[in-house]
Structure 1
Amino acid sequence: MTSKIKYQKNYTEFNETYQLVLPLSLEGFVPDDDSVRLLSHELEELDYTLLYKAYSSKGRNPAVDPKTMFKILTYAYSQNIYSSRKIEQACRRDINFMWLLAGQKAPDHSTIARFRTGFLAEACEDLFYQMVRRLKDAEELSMETVFIDGTKLEACANKYTFVWKKSVGKWEEKMFHKIQEAVRLLNHDYMQSFTVNAESRAQDLQKISDYLEEKCQQDGTEFVYGRGRRKSKNQKYLELFQRFRERQVTYDWHTASFHGRNNYCKTDPDATFMHMKDDHMRNAQLKPGYNIQIGVDSEYIVSADVFQDRNDVWTLVPFLKMMDKKLGFRYPSVTADSGYESEEGYTYLRSSGQKPYIKPQTYEKWKKRSFKQDISKRENMGYDKETDTYTCHAGKKLKALFVKKQKSKSGYESEVTVYECEDCANCPHKEKCTRAKGNKRLYISKSFLEKRQESYENILSETGIQYRMNRSIQVEGAFGVLKNDYEFQRFLLRGKTKVKLEILLLCMGYNLNKLHAKIQKERTRTYLFEVQSA
């Protein structure tokens, strides 16, 4: 009869002997052309002063040197490993991670998480742009143009915890009417003169609650609860106004969390609900996310930022300003798709001396026959520059009436000239030309049209055609690699600061992998793909 099998925690006690085959050094296990060697070399040359300042000079030393921890984290992101627990596992099992540790003890997941969200938060951006400047010094960047594009990535948040600005305003207004009625009854019953103003609702409600609390103490009011117990007038009023105040504080909190947006997410207040391109149900439903903007030059990501705006048009100017500040140099031209076109963007590019290669929003429509035959469009009307008039399909003049000023969401002010047709009555083409009951009007920004024409001519040049082709290859290709090859489609951390930290680590890993691929394929110092002749 066989003896019972007994298991124990220490597996070496099973008395099975193995011959040690690993060498004392791991150097021979890492190939000479492995990307981890390049990563270690490139990151070794960076200045880590800002990172070391995040650590206290007092107390014990960190378990793993901060420079080594940064190498491990960057290499993990370059190898599609994002979870702190999986990074810990890689440090214990993966030869490349062991080689980076260079004999140091493998950090546990909590140490990795604390380093990523705490110590690295401020230094990561500085280290990323140091790496970009190294690429510039190595002549890996063309310095001709920067390709800009954006994508939406899902936040680490519950998709059912949305708060809508319109709904908050509606319910707050309904409650305000109830408050006014309750204040009127309170003043009548207690012979008081309380008021609740729209600008100071919470403070006014607090004053009323304080008065009612004092009144309850003076009258010795006994508070009762439960079924069949009749509440006193003092208790009813006090509980009513306390509920009003609690709800008002909640509404004020919601209003303060919008930051100019029309919604936010409760589990990650920095996230905005956006239409993602696709989801598991393939119905493009609203999800909490961030608008990620990147600038690409010579296939390298030279800049990255996180925005809460769903529309790319409001991100261009702040993104370019951030690039100028962080990079320390300015690109002579900017290439972007039609989603970035605006008068504000054109004006900024002209003031900064940068040449725009931005496709007009109506560029594709201009090619269609239906657009060319649409008599309501300004482009299909004759224009006389001397008299500043347009001629419609019926041969009638549209004259300038007045100029009005419009202010955009960002505060940019533009001038719009309003043109009106001299007489649309009894015109046989009116149904195809306008839906207005009166005469047809055109709203035209002359400054915008002039700047748009300049950009349109730029993209039609040989250089513009090459830039547009490279934009679709380089910047959209970079997003394709990050989202599909790297499988990064949802953030692990919450809050705009931490989300930016994640995207910078991802971009840094992408750049190092790109540099490694270019070196191995002998493609260094190649900048633009050539346009293939037909």
Structure 2
Amino acid sequence: MTSNLKYQKDYTTFQDSYQLVLPLNLDGLIPEDDSVRLLSHVLEGLDYTELYKAYSSKGRKPALEPITMFKILVYAYSQNIYSSRGIEKACRRDINFRWLLGGADAPDHSTIDRFRQRYAISAVETLFYQFVNLLHGTGEIRYENVFIDGTKIEANANRYSFVWKKTIMKNEAKMHIKVQELIQMINTDYVQSFSFSADNAFTDITSVVTFLDQKCRTEKIEFVYGSGKRPKHLQKQYEQMKEYQDRQKKYDLSKQTFQGRNSYSRTDNDATFMHMKEGHMRNGQLKPGYNLQIGVEAEYITGVGVFSERNDLNTLKPMLQHMEEMSGHRYRNVIADSGYESEEGYLYLEEKGQTAYIKPQTYEKWKKRSFKNDISKRENMSYDPIKDQYTCHNGQKLTYQYTGHRKSASGYVSDVSYYKCQDCTGCTFKEKCTKSQGNRKLQVSKLFIAKRQVSYENIISEKGTELRMNRSIQVEGAFGVLKNDYKYNRFLTRGKTSVKTEFLFLVFGYDINKLHAKIQNGRLGHQLHPLKETA
């Protein structure tokens, strides 16, 4: 049986009685309390000068207004739609996206991706902090209490593309031994005086390669390859040294890429291999990822930082500096977990006039009976500030010896006081006090201890208890929403700059959803969750 049906691109021709259905105005189909209306209103009031600067004044005008495209992307991230193809599909089918387009044609996935990675990359952070200041202008945030925390999210990189610093250094050292042997042979064979230094390896190797190359040309050496061919001695030396030159170039490039890290990914050089809490194999396997830091106030994310460091210790200072620079405001109180505690961090907050509510790393241990009964701990020794000496459990004095210096990974140098016991001979408590063969020694950073004590007293106060409780609710809750409700566990783009742009779109959408929820639930102006009253 044959059919007379002819397929065409326009499927409306299949309907015999196709009729346009009213209303044409999509505004009547969007609920009055829909978050897309709030998003459009809020984003309309921002200054898009930086975004328009990203476009060239020459050439064709963008197919879609940059402001409209920005709205589309922020709304897509607020609705858990992240891929460019998913956003394109939503623009064609979803009535809210059609409303944002305002009658314009839906952009294709390449246009969306190009906007996200080329044009928005220079403007999205400025627009985000404009929105944060807008929240400040309406009284939603006060720049009073900032809750800091971090999490790790997997990079868009091959999980087995790791480059380890120890491996690079080990292989380079082995190669340098072979290079020295070959250079010594070349000096003997051709009466030369080439030298080699590990600090200037590439330049030294290059000078030898240049010499061998010129000698091959002078002697008109014909290079031969393949089975049955016997390359001359000079050809072998040149090719071997050329291989060392190429390897040294790769080693130097890898050492520049590390930038203080112990690893990076070949498919995303900015990504570092880290332990992730979440994983499909649940075996703690190292994966390439980024350390994301956020600052939260009144449940809104008010600051964002993307770092390649595996821990949070050295992220606090640059994070706060960047937030202040971008927003133009400084927070009064900084609340963070024990992973952020450092002498450098305490001094920075004191210098800026900010109050530290940072939990000491030993806070939980101090509560335990086993810690209080541990005679080896400095905290359990009595200290005489006048004589500057400690007294151990056996009554022996640990006297001051000298002051040394300790340099952190960030370059900060702290003063460390060294103490030594006069005589531990025959002490019945020595096994419990120290594992050292000689007399007991003690290293103390007096400044750090003093600043830690101030922060400790802050967090155990009534206000500090309330702030610590809110830190676990607000900032950890924000990460919980982003990773579980928004299903955001892996980046789509590569490189720290692109990753930060992507994450800013996500938190932009999160904040607008949070503002929408507060408006609808009558919680505007709500800053802190109160402590529960105990009976």
Superposition TM-score, scaled by structure 1 size: 0.98
Displacement after TM superposition at 1:196 (Å):
2.4
- What amino acid does structure 2 have at the position aligned with 1:246? D
Partner residue in 1 for 2:2: 3
Say whether 1:515 aligns with 2:520: no
Separation (CA, whole Å) in 2 of partners of 1:117 and 1:20? 38
Q: What is residue 436 of structure 1 aligned with on the other side?
A: 436
* Partner amino acid, structure 1, of 2:2: S
Q: Deviations over 1:318-341 (max 9, x none)?
A: 111111111111111100011111
CA deviation profile, 1:215-248 (whole Å, cap 9, x unmatched): 2222222221111211111211111111111111
Cα gap change, 1:207 to 1:9, in 2 (>3 Å): farther
Give the secondary-structure state (helix, strand or coil) at the position aligned to 1:120: helix
Counterpart in the other structure of 1:322? 322
Q: Which residue of 2 aligns with 1:301?
A: 301
Q: Distance in 1 between matches of 2:436 and 2:242?
A: 52
Does 1:275 pair with 2:275?
Answer: yes
* Counterpart-to-counterpart distance in 2, 1:280 and 1:436: 44
Q: Which amino acid is 1:320 matched to?
A: L
Is 2:374 the counterpart of 1:374?
Answer: yes
2:109 matched to which residue of 1?
A: 109
Alpha-carbon distance in 2 for matches of 1:149, 1:317? 13
Alignment-derived partner of residue 99 in structure 2: 99
Letter of the 1:426 partner, please give it.
G
Q: CA deviation at 1:19?
A: 4.0
3-state secondary structure, aligned to 1:226: coil
Question: Displacement, 1:26?
Answer: 0.4
- Distance, in Å, in 2 between the alignment partners of 1:229 and 1:22 is 83
Distance 2:418 2:72 in 1: 60
Question: Cα gap change, 1:33/1:311 in structure 2, threshold over 3 Å: closer, same or farther?
Answer: same
Matched, 1:347 2:327: no
Confirm or deny that 1:141 pairs with 2:141: yes
Equivalent residue, structure 1, for 2:456: 456
Measure how far apart 1:467 and its partner are: 0.2
Aligned to 1:168: 168
Find the aligned partners of 1:418 and 1:59 in 2 and give their Cα distance. 69
1:242 matched residue in structure 2: 242
Q: Distance in 1 between matches of 2:191 and 2:347?
A: 62
Compared with structure 1, are the counterparts of its residues 159 and 5 closer, same or farther at alpha carbon in structure 2 (3 Å cutoff)?
Answer: farther
Distance 2:194 2:143 in 1: 67
Shift of 1:9: 4.3
Distance in 2 (CA, whole Å) between partners of 1:511 and 1:222 is 69
Partner of 2:266: 266
* RMSD of aligned alpha carbons: 1.2
Q: Residues 501-529 of structure 1, C-alpha deviation per residue, up to 9 Å, x if partnerless?
A: 01111111000000000000000001000
Contact 2:143-2:329 within 8 A present in 1 as well: no
Using the alignment, how far apart are the partners of 1:140 and 1:13 within structure 2? 53
CA deviation string 1:36-71 (max 9, x = no partner): 000000000000011111111111110000000000
Q: 1:256 & 1:461 partners in 2: Cα distance?
A: 46
Residue 278 of structure 1 and its aligned partner are, at CA, apart by 2.4
Query: Residue in 2 aligned with 1:402?
Result: 402
TM-score of the superposition, structure 2-length normalised? 0.98
Moved more, 66-75 or 141-150: 141-150
For residue 192 of structure 1, what is the aligned residue in structure 2? 192
| Equivalent residue letter for 1:355 | T
Can you list the C-alpha shifts for 1:481-502, whole angstroms capped at 9, x where unaligned?
0111001111111001011101
Alpha-carbon distance between aligned partners in 2 of 1:153 and 1:137, rounded to the nearest angstrom: 32
Residue 7 of structure 1 and its aligned partner are, at CA, apart by 6.3
1:160-189 residue CA offsets vs partner (Å, 9 max, x unmatched): 111111111111111011011111111212
Q: CA deviation at 1:20?
A: 3.3
Judge which range, 231-240 or 462-471, deviates more: 231-240
Quote the residue 1:59 is aligned against. Answer: 59
Report the AA paired with residue 516 of structure 1. H
Task: Give the SS at the match of 1:215.
Answer: helix
CA distance in 2, matches of 1:191, 1:419: 58
Distance, in Å, in 2 between the alignment partners of 1:345 and 1:61 is 48
The equivalent of 1:206 in structure 2 is 206
**Which residue in the other structure is 1:228 paired with?**
228
Supply the distance in 1 between the matched residues of 2:114 and 2:38 (Cα, whole angstroms): 26
SS in 1 for 2:370: helix
CA contact (8 A) 2:416 2:444 kept: yes
**Which residue of structure 2 lines up, in the alignment, with residue 487 of structure 1?**
487
2:128–2:508 Cα contact (<8 Å) kept: yes
Worse overlay, 72-81 or 239-248: 239-248
CA offset digits 1:92-119 (Å, max 9, x no partner): 0000000000011111111111110001
Query: Matched residues in 1 for 2:416 and 2:199: separation?
Result: 34
Please state how far the C-alpha of 1:16 moved relative to its aligned partner.
4.5
The superposition leaves residues 257-281 of structure 1 with CA deviations (integer Å, 9 ceiling, x where unpaired) of 1111111111000111111112001
* In 2: Cα distance, 1:20 partner to 1:335 partner: 58
Render the CA deviation track for 1:126-148: whole Å, top value 9, x for unaligned. Answer: 00000000000000014321000
Where in structure 2 are there 5+ consecutive unaligned residues?
none
Query: Equivalents in 2 of 1:526, 1:116: separation in Å?
Result: 33
SS in 2 for 1:406: strand
**Greater displacement, 146-155 / 200-209:** 200-209
Amino acid at match of 2:206: Q
Counterpart-to-counterpart distance in 1, 2:495 and 2:448: 36
What percentage of aligned pairs have identical amino acids?
59
Q: Distance in 1 between matches of 2:334 and 2:219?
A: 74
Query: Which one-letter code corresponds to 1:125 in the other structure?
Result: E
| Structure 1 counterpart SS, 2:198 | coil
- Cα distance in 1 between the residues matched to 2:170 and 2:267: 23
DSSP-derived class of the 2:222 partner: coil
| Matched residue type, 1:329 | H
Aligned residue pairs: how many? 533
Residue 150 of structure 1 pairs with residue 128 of structure 2: no
Aligned counterpart, 1:476: 476
Q: Distance in 1 between matches of 2:180 and 2:388?
A: 56
Bigger CA drift: 384-393 or 487-496? Answer: 384-393
